Amino acid sequence: MNKHHSSKPRFIILAILLASLQTSFCFAGDNQLTILHTNDWQSRLLGFGTNADFTPQTVNDDNTIGGVSRLATLIEQRREILGEDNVLLLDGGDYSMGTLFHTIIRETGAELQLMSTLRYDAITFGNHEFDYRPDGLAQSIESALNARGKLPPIVISNMHFSPDDPADDRLQALWQQNIIRSYVVVNKGGKKVGLFGLMGSDAADVAPNASPISFSDPIEAAKRMVQILIEKEEVDLVVVLSHGGIHQDPNAPLNWWGEDVDLLTQVPGIDIVVGGHSHTPLNKPIMINDRMILQAGSEAQYLGELSLRSEANELEGDKFKKSHYQLHKIDDHTIGDPAFIAQIEQFKQQVTELFLKPAGYEFEQVLAYTKRRLGREHFDNVIANLVTDSMKIATSSDIAISTNGPIRDDIYLGSNGIQQVSDLFRIVPLGVGVNSDKPGYDLVKVWITGSEIKSIIEALLLGQQTRGDSFYPRFSGFQVVYNSARLPFDQVSQIKLGDSKSGFHDIDLSPDNPQLYSMAANSFVGSMAWLIGKISYGLLEFTPKNENGDPIADLSEGVYDTNLSQSGVQEIKEWRAFFSHLKKLPDTNHDGVVELPIKSDARLIKINSYSPNKLYQNATWIMYLGSLIIVVGAVLVLLLIKRIYRQFTS
């Protein structure tokens, strides 16, 4: 019996070895090429879950998904099986911004250092690489170069420098040194592979800090690069690293739409798109003939693997075709690479020393406890209400407004509900100072009227309905009732100031009411205030003012100053206001750790009513004019039908 059982593990091991050898023989060789790909790391070096639970040194003892040290192990395993010369490792952008590690990226280039050690063959920029402005991006690249001596080729083909503004000169110098370039040609699998990168139009739209850098149309840039790679470089395969994105829709052709789909349909010379930006885990490539779109989710949760074989064709010569695809899930079945574990531990210490200690915090400091996972879904208001309440309190404002977009993560339950500083920082991690280069969004405070509160909610509601949940309104100090049966830009029927404890009272939403209310926001959402008139085509009015009612020219004048008696602006960061608010929550069991609430009030209330009193409650000229047009249109249609009927019956 013992002898029988002892032979079983040997049989399993032998089977695994044979499978590995079979895979090696199947995919290795001069006519084989494997593309390993990632995208949207967003500085998520420790994976999805509470950081205290993450144990990359061991297997099968945590529920964390991802982790760059585990990713490193898997990449090396695949290279060993497939052969280094047959493997391309690529990334689709947004490797930075999202956790505490990005706060020191200018000093360390931490993410780029790790990508260098992983031997990526090419990477591209996403919109978040520009969050610290072109100069900050240049600093991060220089820091990584100083630490590693060499970086993966950074390819981007539709980025353009300003000839007049010196703010991008430092980054342009790296372009002139060929550290950043429009394309690169590599030899893999016995073939020449041309690689270029693109910033998608949507990604460029949400990269305001990239200025004065601009991005040209990605389709036109792709056509230009394909011509160069095929005609000049004579490559066998054209691969684009695109930070454009894809979206699923059962009514769309191929069940998918988006900028990466547009690339394949409008630029015939592209063979493969390695995508990013939309954080989509594709379990199989999107196929257009034999051409493919790949994307591996986000934040190192997956490693995509596409195996290609080269087939001779009398008319077209050698053509690469898909022979296998797999989306590897990164979890605790894979042990972390010890060298990467050690390097990330060093980065954690640097985060504490360089960024957290001056504010009185440490990376692994316990800050709070939760009894359940708290999410960002519409029905789960806890995180959003905590964030907006913290802004309102920190600035002593009447109201505060944000959106789902700057709230970047959930709060995970983990094994015991304990939340470290590093976990909770992920909730509001983004931004850089308006008047400085310090990490984190500044809080701004402006004064607006009741009708302007309505205007900003109207703009966000339409943004959410047309561009996605990142625009979903979140706020503090008031409650909004909106009617989805009403016309866009005039759906808000009621705004009540107050809170669930002290009660609410209606405010006058008429445009001629001069009553001012102070509003807090982070500098990202606050910057939208000056754009409301533009994005609404003049249908909505919004003029940020100071407490005296005088218009404010730009965002820098609205940054909240915590000490007016001191020279300069003593700004307060969104993440620090959030932490300060959390520390004041109740500690009911007196163990020194505050408890996060498990539920909170709904502040945005949706109705769908065609009742006249609901349709026209606090309505503006938009609703009345729209209704008139609809009625007139309906009358004209009825008259036309009547006329046609008479012609047929006469």
Percentage of residues of the chain with pLDDT beyond 70: 94
Considering only CA atoms, which of 245, 228, 233, 253 is closest in space to residue 192? 233
The stretch 224-252 carries a mean pLDDT of 95
Q: What is the pLDDT of residues 348-358, one digit of tens each?
A: 999 999 999 99
Please say whether the beta carbons of 325 and 384 come within 8 A. Answer: no
Tell me which H or E stretch contains 525.
Answer: helix 523-527
Distance of CA 493 to the CA centre of its chain: 32
Reply yes or no on whether the pLDDT at 25 is more than 70. Answer: no
Give dist(CA 42, CA 298) in Å, integer. 8
Give dist(CA 426, CA 440) in Å, integer. 11
Please say whether the beta carbons of 348 and 93 come within 8 A. Answer: no
Q: What is the pLDDT of residues 422-436, one digit of tens each?
A: 999 999 999 999 998
Q: Can you tell me whether residue 567 is helix, strand or coil?
A: coil
Reply yes or no on whether the pLDDT at 115 is more than 60. Answer: yes
Reply yes or no on whether the pLDDT at 229 is more than 50. Answer: yes
β-bridge mates for residue 191, sequence order: 188
Considering only CA atoms, which of 328, 215, 307, 220 is closest in space to residue 266? 220
The stretch 461-490 carries a mean pLDDT of 94
The stretch 611-625 carries a mean pLDDT of 94
Reply yes or no on whether the pLDDT at 57 is more than 70. Answer: yes
Give dist(CA 270, CA 264) in Å, integer. 6
Reply yes or no on whether the pLDDT at 629 is more than 80. Answer: yes
β-bridge mates for residue 457, sequence order: none
Instruction: Give pLDDT, residue 474.
Output: 97
Percentage of residues of the chain with pLDDT beyond 90: 82
Q: What is the pLDDT of residues 365-400, one digit of tens each?
A: 999 999 999 999 999 999 999 999 999 999 999 999
Please say whether the beta carbons of 384 and 407 come within 8 A. Answer: yes
Confidence band, pLDDT 50/70/90 cuts, at residue 534: confident
Cis peptide before 9 (omega within 30 of 0): no
Confidence band, pLDDT 50/70/90 cuts, at residue 10: very low
Of 228-242, 530-544, 622-636, the range with the lowest mean pLDDT is 530-544
Tell me which H or E stretch contains 137.
Answer: helix 133-148
Q: What is the pLDDT of residues 74-114, one digit of tens each?
A: 999 999 999 999 999 999 999 999 999 999 999 999 999 99
Instruction: Give pLDDT, residue 249.
Output: 87
Give dist(CA 70, CA 330) in Å, integer. 7
Q: What is the pLDDT of residues 300-338, one digit of tens each?
A: 999 999 999 877 655 455 677 888 999 999 999 999 999
Q: Can you tell me whether residue 246 is helix, strand or coil?
A: coil
Q: Can you tell me whether residue 236 is helix, strand or coil?
A: coil
CB proximity list for 646: less than 8 A, separation 6 or greater: none
Instruction: Give pLDDT, residue 468.
Output: 86
Reply yes or no on whether the pLDDT at 29 is more than 80. Answer: no
The stretch 22-43 carries a mean pLDDT of 73
Look-up of token digits 């002139």: 176
Q: Is the pTM of this model over 0.85?
A: yes
Residue 166: Cβ-neighbour burial (10 angstroms; 0-12, 13-18, 19+) = exposed
Considering only CA atoms, which of 515, 436, 523, 525 is closest in space to residue 474? 525
Instruction: Give pLDDT, residue 3.
Output: 39
Reply yes or no on whether the pLDDT at 4 is more than 70. Answer: no
Please say whether the beta carbons of 332 and 62 come within 8 A. Answer: yes
**What average pLDDT does the structure give for the chain?**
92
Q: What angle do CA 271, 126, 208 make, to 5 degrees?
A: 135
